[in-house]
């Protein structure tokens, strides 16, 4: 019996040790006095997997006086993480750093991780991407001396338009590069996968708006522009205004992530009195036969407006095959990668009548909205500005506003809380956003792009529209 008890005790000890601190768990010394407390490893939700736990001083010194350190704490990998009682964060009024996780922030640098599909099914030109990525932050460093005296360092990873690769990339940026927050540039499935990982790891995550399913309820996730669900009622209105025969078709990539969007656009179209004559899923890497079949069926359906939600690598051949079948409808949809000029460059003239909503304006409107972009892009890169650069400029500009609001001594927790205060963030490139604790999908407008196939570019038909 004694031996059994001893074995059981040994097992318990081993189990406890195994559930304790793991590789990748960081500890940061408190920089101010006061008793050390453990801050919430996540952003108030039960953490899954690896967790960053930061030991910090439970001190005060906040403009907002908000409580940081996670709303309720949680269980991280089996170990208990407690909330920092009375610790406060946010604001930039000085004083001792608030309790919370400051991974990725030093006296001189703020590290931000960004992933995007440079390769894969929604390819983005790598050189253009790498050129455009640092332009905004270089501008901030030169003209404003950085963010609270710190230089922003962007760590970038290609997610290959693959959710598994995206999670690997995000994990690497969090655990090895030790970034403060993550940004997802494009790709709904990749953004969803990374946001879930980031939530488990207690890392704030910001992306352009995509789906809501799988993202709502993630405490650290914030959509920087309208989600598909928010755009769909507008797109149904747009379809009603655009159609000449009232026949409407829907083609959506067959990923579970988009099912909510499919239901939403179908009900929106019916609410507008549109006749839905075709409704089909398309695979991510659609074969020639699939593309030809769908374009033939679309033509036969007679739809003159087609809602398309999927990667450019499916939209481009669909438009081209449609055109080869003498069928050029108005493709409409929520834009992100489909609103880039690389799509019209190849998809025209099949995209001649197309209209896409987009979180960023076209090259023809950016000077009116932000005069700095073109000048900075040219002077920093020596190249002509492109719309991919606008997307990156706008996204980074929004993040800049978020960081400024979170304050000099921000932690991951106070950053989230600062965004939830209800303040309106208006970058004048991306649409204005306003978040609350209950709503992290805070945008209410988008830009409308119209394909100009004579120039093989998207032109801005309207800015910050919220209805048609």
Partner 1 sequence: MLRDRQGLLVGTGIAAAAVLLLAAVGQQQALIIGLISGASYGLVALGLVLVYKSSGVFNFAQGEFGTVAVYVLWLATTNDVPYLAAIVLALAVAGTFGFLTERVVIRPLAASPRVTVLVASAATALVAVAVELWVGQARIRPVDPALARQDRVEILDVFISDQRLLIFVAIAVIAVALAWFFSRTNLGLAILAASQEPTATNLVGISVTRVSALVWTIAAVLGGVAGVLTGPLAGFGPGFLTIGSLVAAFTAAVIGGFTSLPGAFLGGVIVGVVQSVATSASIFQEIPGPQTASLFALLVVILLVRPQGLLSR
Determine which residue in the list 345, 371, 424, 426 makes contact with partner 1, applying CB under 8 A.
345
309 is a site residue for partner 1 (CB under 8 A)? no
Q: Does 346 bind partner 1 (CB under 8 A)?
A: yes
Q: Where are the beta strands (DSSP E) in 129-238?
A: 151-158, 181-184, 205-207, 221-223
One character per residue 219-258, x = contact with partner 1 (rule: CB under 8 A): -----------------------------------x----
Assess 316 for contact with partner 1 (CB under 8 A): yes
Q: Which of 383, 311, 366 is nearest to 342 (CA)?
A: 311
Q: Which is nearer to partner 1, 254 or 367 (CB)?
A: 254
Minimum Å gap between C-beta 257 and partner 1 is 12
What does R_g of the chain's alpha carbons equal in angstroms?
Answer: 24
Tally DSSP H helices, then E strands, for the chain. Answer: 14, 20
Q: At what angle do helices 387-406 and 135-144 cross, to 10 degrees?
A: 50
Spatial neighbors of 454 by CB under 8 A, at least 6 apart, are none
Which ranges in 255-369 belong to alpha helices (H)?
259-271, 288-301, 312-324, 341-347, 366-369
Query: Cβ 369 to partner 1, closest distance in Å?
Result: 26
* Span near partner 1 by CB under 8 A; candidates 90-98, 100-108, 310-318, 395-403: 310-318
- Please report which residue ranges of 105-186 form alpha helices under DSSP H: 126-132, 135-144, 163-175
Contact between 126 and partner 1 (CB under 8 A)? yes
| Part in contact with partner 1 (CB under 8 A); list of ranges 142-150, 173-181, 189-197, 278-286 | 278-286
Contact with partner 1 (CB under 8 A) among 123, 146, 302, 432: 123
Does 127 participate in binding partner 1 (rule CB under 8 A)? yes
Nearer to partner 1, 288 or 454 (CB): 288
Which listed residue (21, 275, 293, 463) binds partner 1 by CB under 8 A? 293
Distant-in-sequence, close-in-space partners of 355: CB < 8 Å, separation ≥ 6: 238, 242, 330, 331, 332, 448, 449, 450, 451, 461
Least Cβ distance, residue 184 to partner 1 (angstroms): 18
From 2, 5, 288, 454, residue interacting with partner 1 (rule: CB under 8 A):
288
How many residues touch partner 1 under the rule CB under 8 A: the total is 40
Tell which one of 162, 257, 313, 381 touches partner 1 (CB under 8 A): 313
68: DSSP letter: -
Instruction: Give me 143's structure tokens.
Output: 């003209």
Give me the residues paired with residue 458 across strands. Answer: 451
C-alpha dihedral, 370 to 375 to 376 to 377, nearest 10°: 100
260 binds partner 1 (CB under 8 A): no
Phi-psi category of residue 319: left, alpha or beta, with phi > 0 → left and psi -120 to 50 → alpha: alpha
Tell me which of 92, 175, 177, 290 binds partner 1, using CB under 8 A. Answer: 290
Q: Determine if 26 is a binding residue for partner 1 (CB under 8 A).
A: no
Interatomic CA distance for residues 51 and 42, integer angstroms: 7
Alpha-carbon distance of 252 to 279, in angstroms, equals 8
Among 7, 80, 324, 379, binds partner 1 (CB under 8 A): 324
- 419-448: contacts with partner 1 (CB under 8 A): none
* Nearest to partner 1 of 19, 346 (CB atom): 346
Provide the token pair at 60: 């005060």
Residues that bind partner 1 (CB under 8 A): 118-120, 123-128, 254, 280-281, 283, 285-294, 296-297, 299-300, 312-313, 316-317, 320-321, 323-326, 342, 345-346
């Amino acid at each position: 019996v004694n031996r059994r008890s001893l074995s059981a005790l040994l097992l318990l000890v081993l189990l406890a040790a195994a559930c304790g601190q793991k590789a990748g768990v960081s500890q940061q010394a408190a920089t101010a006095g006061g008793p050390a407390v453990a801050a919430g490893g996540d952003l108030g939700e039960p953490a899954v997997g690896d967790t960053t736990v930061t030991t910090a001083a439970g001190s005060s010194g906040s403009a907002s006086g908000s409580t940081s350190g996670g709303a309720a704490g949680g269980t991280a990998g089996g170990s208990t993480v407690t909330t920092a009682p009375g610790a406060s964060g946010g604001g930039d009024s000085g004083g001792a750093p608030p309790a919370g996780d400051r991974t990725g922030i030093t006296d001189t640098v703020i590290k931000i991780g960004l992933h995007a599909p440079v390769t894969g099914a929604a390819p983005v030109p790598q050189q253009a991407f790498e050129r455009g990525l640092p332009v905004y932050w270089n501008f901030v460093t030169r003209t404003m001396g950085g963010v609270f005296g710190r230089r922003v360092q962007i760590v970038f990873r290609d997610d290959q338009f693959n959710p598994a690769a995206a999670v690997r990339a995000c994990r690497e940026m969090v655990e090895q590069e030790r970034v403060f927050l993550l940004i997802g540039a494009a790709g709904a499935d990749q953004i969803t996968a990374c946001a879930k990982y980031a939530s488990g790891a207690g890392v704030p995550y910001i992306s352009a708006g995509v789906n809501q399913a799988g993202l709502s309820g993630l405490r650290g996730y914030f959509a920087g522009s309208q989600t598909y669900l928010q755009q769909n009622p507008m797109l149904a209105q747009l379809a009603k205004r655009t159609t000449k025969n009232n026949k409407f078709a829907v083609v959506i990539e067959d990923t579970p992530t988009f099912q909510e969007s499919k239901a939403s656009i179908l009900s929106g179209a019916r609410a507008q009195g549109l006749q839905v004559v075709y409704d089909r899923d398309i695979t991510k890497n659609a074969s020639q036969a699939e593309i030809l079949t769908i374009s033939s069926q679309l033509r036969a359906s007679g739809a003159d407006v087609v809602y398309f939600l999927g990667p450019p690598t499916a939209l481009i051949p669909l438009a081209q095959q449609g055109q080869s079948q003498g069928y050029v409808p108005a493709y409409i949809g929520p834009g992100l990668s489909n609103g880039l000029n690389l799509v019209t460059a190849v998809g025209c003239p099949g995209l001649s009548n197309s209209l896409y909503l987009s979180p960023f304006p076209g090259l023809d409107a950016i000077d009116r909205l932000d005069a700095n972009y073109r000048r900075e892009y040219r002077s920093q890169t020596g190249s002509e500005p492109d719309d991919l650069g606008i997307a990156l400029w706008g996204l980074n500009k929004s993040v800049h506003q978020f960081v400024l609001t979170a304050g000099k001594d921000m932690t991951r927790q106070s950053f989230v809380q600062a965004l939830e205060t209800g303040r309106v963030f208006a970058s004048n490139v991306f649409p204005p956003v306003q978040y609350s604790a209950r709503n992290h999908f805070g945008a209410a407008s988008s830009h409308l792009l119209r394909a100009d196939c004579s120039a093989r570019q998207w032109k801005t038909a309207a800015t910050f529209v919220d209805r048609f």
